Amino acid sequence: DFDNFPFAPTITTEIAWPPYKAFGSAGATLTDGNEVGGVLVLTEATNNESICIAQTALPFQIVNTGGMLGFEARIKTSSVADTAHNTIVGLMDARTLIVGDPIDTAGVLISTLNFVGFQRLEADGNQMDTTFQENGETQVVVEADAVTLVADTYVKVGFLFEPQKKLLTFFQNGVVLAKTKSISDTAGDAFPNDVRMGLVFAHMAAATSPGTDAIDWWKCYQANATQPM
């Protein structure tokens, strides 16, 4: 939860922002959303510049031989206009946060990124896709326009990985989305199962008045390989 976090100093290079790390281009801010329960607001006012928080520790690994994993975050955006901004939320691998990493100036996942989660692209501002990517492999969009966004309205987005079924399922506000993905060990789409991952929440501005992204809370739980969820 974001009920307590430090003031952000200059973040134009990646900094420790316990329990996270953070980066923001010049003019980016991490601020309290002034809401009951605590909310973190990400703001960047310059086109093609970004702000991001991520876990320093990487406690999760989504693998068919591992335990069941569930992820969920409660987020909102101030604008659903096209060409406003790009957003991703989910789990990603270890990396140094800079402009263009983990998403480039068009909001596209960079080619070396391992990621599982939700993506909003600037060309389709009121929609989020469910997606994953393994380093060096083609990004897989499980369901395009899976989540419809409403300005200044919270939405809970999440996914569940069931290793016994080798199945990845996505949710909006606790409701199962239409398309799931079978994750094979030996065939099919490459999946980032060989790396540990942690939270990422990234915002890339696509206009001079791009609006903000906010996160109320997130949670992730992974059982061990022999324990049910």
Contact between 156 and 173 under an 8 Å Cβ cutoff? The reply is yes
pLDDT single digits (tens) 73-95: 999 999 999 989 999 999 999 99
Of the two residues 210 and 220, the one the predictor is more confident about is 220
Q: Does the pLDDT value for residue 207 go beyond 90?
A: no
pLDDT at 226: 61
Give me the residue label for tokens 């061990």: 224
| Three-class DSSP category at 122 | helix
State mean pLDDT over 120-140: 95
pLDDT single digits (tens) 45-55: 899 999 999 99
pLDDT at 4: 84
What percent of the chain stands above pLDDT 90?
81
Pick from 155-164, 184-193, 208-217: least confident: 184-193
Q: Which of the four pLDDT bands, split at 50, 70 and 90, describes residue 186?
A: low
Q: Which of the four pLDDT bands, split at 50, 70 and 90, describes residue 140?
A: very high
Distance between CA atoms of 52 and 116, rounded to whole angstroms? 16
Q: Which of the four pLDDT bands, split at 50, 70 and 90, describes residue 188?
A: low
pLDDT single digits (tens) 6-35: 877 789 999 999 899 999 999 899 999 988
Q: Does the pLDDT value for residue 118 go beyond 60?
A: yes
Q: Which of the four pLDDT bands, split at 50, 70 and 90, describes residue 225?
A: low
In degrees and rounded to multiples of 5, residue 34 shows phi and psi of 60, 45
As a whole number, the mean pLDDT across the chain is 92
Q: Which of the four pLDDT bands, split at 50, 70 and 90, describes residue 67?
A: very high
The CB density around residue 101, as the number of other CB atoms within 10 Å, is: 18
DSSP notation for 150-186: -TT--EEEEEEEETTTTEEEEEETTEEPS--EE--SS
pLDDT at 132: 97
pTM above 0.85, yes or no: yes
pLDDT at 55: 96
State mean pLDDT over 133-149: 96
Two tokens, residue 122: 């600037």
Omega before residue 59 within 30° of 0, cis:
no
The CB density around residue 4, as the number of other CB atoms within 10 Å, is: 7
* Angle at alpha carbon of residue 190, lines to 188 and 192, rounded to 5°: 140
